[in-house]
Amino acid sequence: MNRRNMNKTKSTVEEIRQRFDSDVERFANLDTGQVSTIDARYSLDLITEVAKRLEPYAENLLDVGCGAGNYTLTMLQKTPNLNCTLVDLSKPMLDRALERVAAQTEGKVEIVQGDIRKVALKENHFDIILAGAVLHHLRDDRDWENVFAKLYNLLKPGGCLMISDLVRQDNEVLTEYFWQRYAEYLDETGGQDYRRKILDYVAREDSPRSIACQLELMKKVGFKSVEVLHKNVCFGAFGGVK
């Protein structure tokens, strides 16, 4: 992907919401909804397994940008009967997630429609926060720092934030190289039309930051420890403990 394509005018929150409103069933299935994400299943398993080990007695889970609920459902397989708070822009996604998650936990399930930058949530409350393929929609430096600070404040002391996402490199030459590798992956996965479709979405919707940048922000807002769990081309899994 050319660097210039990453700097196009970005989609509004409303435009992003509308796209996800119309694609619920595809995203409810990892085999269809996460095809464009390298190592999606591996990273999903990894961040939930790490969360379980860091917070073995967890009670309260927050899933940011929950989509149709795949991350929460995987977490519930490892830590049953959590109280689950699901946040997403898309009401159809939330309705599907509520249906699926409520069937798998005896805990309370709450859905919150809205932008994580704006929704009101209880501070010092969550043992685990999952953010799967969502933070790359943030825009400027203020957005990034404010959201990490907010997620930190929502966690209980000792709680963990686990992230799986699209990422950039800090070095622009390496960024170019890894976007090229990603384009080749998309071409092999679905052909040239599929590659163009996905890269167009990325150019319009996404503003990813490097793992190093995000870990530095996490430390800046107060996380006492941060870890890189996995990285492959321009996707990574990482997190931190409050």
Domain for residue 11, yes or no?
no
Q: What is the pLDDT of residue 8?
A: 53
Tokens of 166: 């699209």
CATH of the domain at 83: 3.40.50.150
Range of the domain at 55: 18-171+207-241
Q: Residues near 173 by Cβ (< 8 Å), separated by ≥ 6?
A: none
Provide, for the chain, the percentages of residues in helix, strand and coil under a 3-state DSSP scheme, each rounded to the nearest 5. 50, 20, 30
* Whole-number Å distance between alpha carbons of 87 and 113: 6
Q: Report whether 113 contacts 21 (CB < 8 A).
A: no
Binned average pLDDT, 10 residues per bin, the chain of 242 residues: 51 86 75 82 96 98 96 97 97 95 98 97 98 95 97 98 97 95 95 94 93 98 98 97 98
Q: Which pLDDT does position 202 carry in this prediction?
A: 92
145 inside domain: yes
**Mean pLDDT for the chain?**
93
pTM value?
0.93
Residue that the structure tokens 């899994």 belong to: 237
Tell whether 201 is covered by a domain: no
Q: State how many domains the chain has.
A: 1
Long-range pairs of 3-11 with CB within 8 A, sequence gap ≥ 24: 3/172, 3/175, 3/176, 5/199, 5/203, 6/202, 6/203, 6/207, 8/203, 8/204, 10/139, 10/204, 10/205, 10/206, 10/207, 11/204, 11/205
Q: What is the pLDDT of residue 76?
A: 98
Does residue 186 lie in a domain region?
no
Closest CA to 88 of 152, 19, 38: 19
Distance, C-alpha 22 to centroid of its chain:
19
Residue 47 tokens read as: 């961040």
Q: Is residue 195 part of a domain?
A: no
181 found inside a domain: no
The pair of structure tokens assigned to 147 is 């959201």
Q: Examine residue 176 and state whether it is found in any structural domain, yes or no.
A: no
61 belongs to a structural domain: yes
Q: Residue 4 corresponds to which tokens in the numbers above?
A: 């210039």
Distances, alpha carbon 210 to alpha carbons 10, 110, 119, 182, 235, in Å: 19, 31, 25, 15, 10
